[in-house]
Structure 1
């Protein structure tokens, strides 16, 4: 079974773990960035993490990825506390595509993607400890449309090409949970649609921080809406993105409506909320 078939096969069943956060609080000095946040990303579903700038989305993703230890609260993958996992095991369980990921070494695209195989190698490292590594790297390059650019060096890539390379590196980790921080920022419209379609097709437990509410409505099963470090809405897209919530959090008059041609909702904008 190929890596892609393996992902889709896993996502087609109910054996993927939920990702849950309970009572997560993060403080920076005297400022509370996250305040008792509790969320659940259901196994095999795409959860959109929404909210205005400064609402705590990136900080929450870092906590969910195990990169930041919260001042209070816990994160679990299934029944396993993320704090109990070693670095290598955690990297094979949860993977994060950063918003501004970069490298100071001018590696080739293939070399960048191959970094995702490090958690699968023995403690001594080396490709001989990862017999599936080369095949997985080639497949994920194809999945994100970078096979023809595999020998290009990092400095010659566009922003969109770099973002797809980082997605491929993350997929090479073969995680159960995929976290994405503003993954469409450097992509044009066609690339955004293909990127999020691929994320859905993989069938992984996925959490994606997004600014574009239209993309969230189109591609997410569920959403979590943060504002001021607190959860303001959580649930299926149609139930959570209500007109009152959008007005309170974003200051806009908007509502979900059936798409005229597709079997998914889209946002109808009326304008900013009038000041009292």
Structure 2
């Protein structure tokens, strides 16, 4: 998945919109899922959305994607209120890769990726106006490493292959902002590294919900850490992921340290907080 294409990549960071959330609150009955959450994802940078299970990461991604209206607060992309954007423009600006990739229709891999071109077609759904569609689909299939499987039925794919196909569908939208909900869940270690390397190479404004803090340290520029629906830390990775924050949010004795071989930090952990050493 190292191939890079002009069809999807947008170029310099100055050309890419910033995604922001201000005071976002979401309630489910008497439970507050998100409590006055602020988030800033700078143009062309990868922002990791971190936090324990149940901290509100998926709910926040759905708000950022415009799939859920918050009870309070607003989301802006490129300085415009997300809710004010027409549906087609929103679909060409933001794209979400869901945590559980599924479809009930037995499409081929190529057909799944081609679904991403719908926002670029005429109002009546005609493909004639999407003059670049076939080229983009072929480029994207190569990018996500599925060109050899393009004619394979969806039902025959492994979990990791399905996840890559859905990333391909998302990239075929040619978004400027990429939202990812636990995108490495069904991938083995090598696929995880290639997947996140591709996300970085694309140069898009990206927000990725991740469980693995080591992957977050390796591939994210910035992080926002949620805990029980509130932001507990935010900023560049090495400044935000402090030993104190990791202890308070995750209950572990851990800290970031320079990687012994690569120009990036990595996570050094001792164990659950309070655990004695042997």
What band does the TM-score fall into relative to the shorter chain?
Answer: over 0.9
**Deviations 1:9-49 (CA, angstroms, capped at 9, x unpaired):** x3434121110000000000100000000010000000000
Distance 2:92 2:119 in 1: 6
Partner of 2:117 in structure 1? 117
Partner of 1:49 in structure 2? 49
2:75–2:81: 8 Å Cα contact kept in structure 1?
yes
The alpha-carbon deviation at position 246 of structure 1 amounts to: 0.1
Please, what TM-score do these two structures have when normalized by structure 1? 0.97
SS at match of 1:198: helix
Partner of 2:191 in structure 1? 191
The alpha-carbon deviation at position 88 of structure 1 amounts to: 1.1
The alpha-carbon deviation at position 101 of structure 1 amounts to: 2.3
Q: How does 1:190-269 map to 2 (within 5 A)?
A: 190-269=190-269
Partner of 1:145 in structure 2? 145
Moved >4 Å (runs of 4+): none
Mark the CA change 1:147 to 1:6 in structure 2 (over 3 Å): closer, same or farther: closer
Q: How many residues of Structure 1 are paired with residues of Structure 2 in the alignment? A: 273
Please, what TM-score do these two structures have when normalized by structure 2? 0.96
SS at match of 1:43: coil
The alpha-carbon deviation at position 194 of structure 1 amounts to: 0.3
Mark the CA change 1:119 to 1:3 in structure 2 (over 3 Å): closer, same or farther: farther
The range that moved more, 80-89 or 183-192, is 80-89
Distance 1:68 1:217 in 2: 29
> Which structure 2 residue ranges, 5 or more long, are not aligned?
none
> Which structure 1 residue ranges, 5 or more long, are not aligned?
none
Distance 1:123 1:12 in 2: 31
Q: How does 1:126-145 map to 2 (within 5 A)?
A: 126-145=126-145
SS at match of 1:129: coil
The alpha-carbon deviation at position 260 of structure 1 amounts to: 0.3
SS at match of 2:110: helix
Mark the CA change 1:192 to 1:3 in structure 2 (over 3 Å): closer, same or farther: closer
The alpha-carbon deviation at position 129 of structure 1 amounts to: 1.7
Distance 2:106 2:13 in 1: 40
RMSD: 1.2
